[in-house]
Amino acid sequence: DAKTTQPNSMESNEEEPVHLPCNHSTISGTDYIHWYRQLPSQGPEYVIHGLTSNVNNRMASLAIAEDRKSSTLILHRATLRDAAVYYCILRVGPYNTDKLIFGTGTRLQVFP
Amino acid sequence: GAVVSQHPSRVICKSGTSVKIECRSLDFQATTMFWYRQFPKQSLMLMATSNEGSKATYEQGVEKDKFLINHASLTLSTLTVTSAHPEDSSFYICSARDAEGTNEQFFGPGTRLTVL
C-alpha cells in the first residue's frame, strides 16, 4: 500500500499560517493526494485533494512538489477550530475501486 | 458537502452479544461504503469495502465471520460485530463514496463501541 510520512505533531499560534508537510516518495502517477482532518471523537472531514497542480479551496491550499514525492497543506490563518489531526493520504487504485489508507497523521495544536 | 450518518453514536454491550451499526448516506447514493476501526490515539484502519448488492471485500487480518457487512441498498450499509469481546471495543467509522458526484469519500461521525 502507498505510504505517507508526516511529522507527529506541530504547533501554531492563532491567525498565523500553518504549513503541514507530507512525504510520499512511493507515489505512482495515478495516485491522488488527499488531506482529511479529524477532531476528537469525530469522523474525518475532507479538506482538499490534488493530483499534480496546486489546489485552493475555502479551507486550505495544497502545494504539490513537481516530482509529486511530497506535498504541503497550507492553512492560511489558523484558528482554534483548526486544532485537529491532519491526515495526508494517497488514494490508490482505479477510479471507483480506489480506497484511502490512513497514515499516522499530524496533530496540530493552535494556541491563542 | 454530502452527509453520512451512523447509528448508534455509542453502544455498550455485554461480552458475547452481537451489535449492529448502521451507516447511511443522507443526500446521495453510495454504491461503495467503507468501514474503519480506530483505537485510542491511533489512526484509522480500513476493515472492509462494502459494495451495494455484492459481498464485502475485507482487508488482510480482518475476520469476515466476526465483522458481518451488509450493503443492501444504495444508502445503507450495516456492520455487525458478532460475539463481541472487550478487545472489540473501539471507535467504528464508516464512509461513503459519492460516485455520481466528486468520487470523494464522506465520513460518518463514528460509533463508540464498549464491550463489558
Probe site for chain A from B43, B57, B95 (most A CB atoms < 10 A):
B43
Is the minimum CB–CB distance between B91 and chain A shorter than 8 Å? yes
Q: Tell me, what's the pLDDT at B22?
A: 97
Residues B107, A36: C-beta atoms closer than 8 Å: yes
Identity of the residue in A44, A46, A95 whose CB atom sits nearest the CB atom of B44:
A44
| Segment B52-92, tens digit of pLDDT | 888 899 999 999 999 999 988 999 999 999 999 999 999 99
Q: Tell me, what's the pLDDT at A36?
A: 95
How many Å lie between the alpha carbon of B75 and the closest alpha carbon of chain A?
A: 16
Q: Tell me, what's the pLDDT at A95?
A: 64
Q: Tell me, what's the pLDDT at B107?
A: 95
Beginning with the edge strand found earlier in the chain, give each strand of the sheet holding B76-81 in spatial order.
Answer: B4-7, B19-25, B76-81, B67-73
Where is pLDDT greater, at B2 or A109?
Answer: A109
Identity of the residue in B91, B105, B112 whose CB atom sits nearest the CB atom of A100:
B105
Stretches where chain A sits below pLDDT 50 are none
Dihedral angle sign, alpha carbons of residues B14, B18, B23, B24: negative
Identity of the residue in B1, B49, B110 whose CB atom sits nearest the CB atom of A43:
B110
DSSP β-ladder status, A9-13 and A106-111: parallel
Q: Tell me, what's the pLDDT at B92?
A: 98
CA distances (Å), origin B10, targets A34, A47, A66, B3, B17: 28, 26, 44, 19, 15
Q: Looking at beta carbons, which residues of chain B come within 8 Å of A36? A: 107
Cα–Cα distance, A14 to A109 (Å, whole number) = 10
Residues A87, B104: C-beta atoms closer than 8 Å: no
| Segment B5-54, tens digit of pLDDT | 999 999 999 999 999 999 999 988 888 999 999 999 899 999 999 988 88
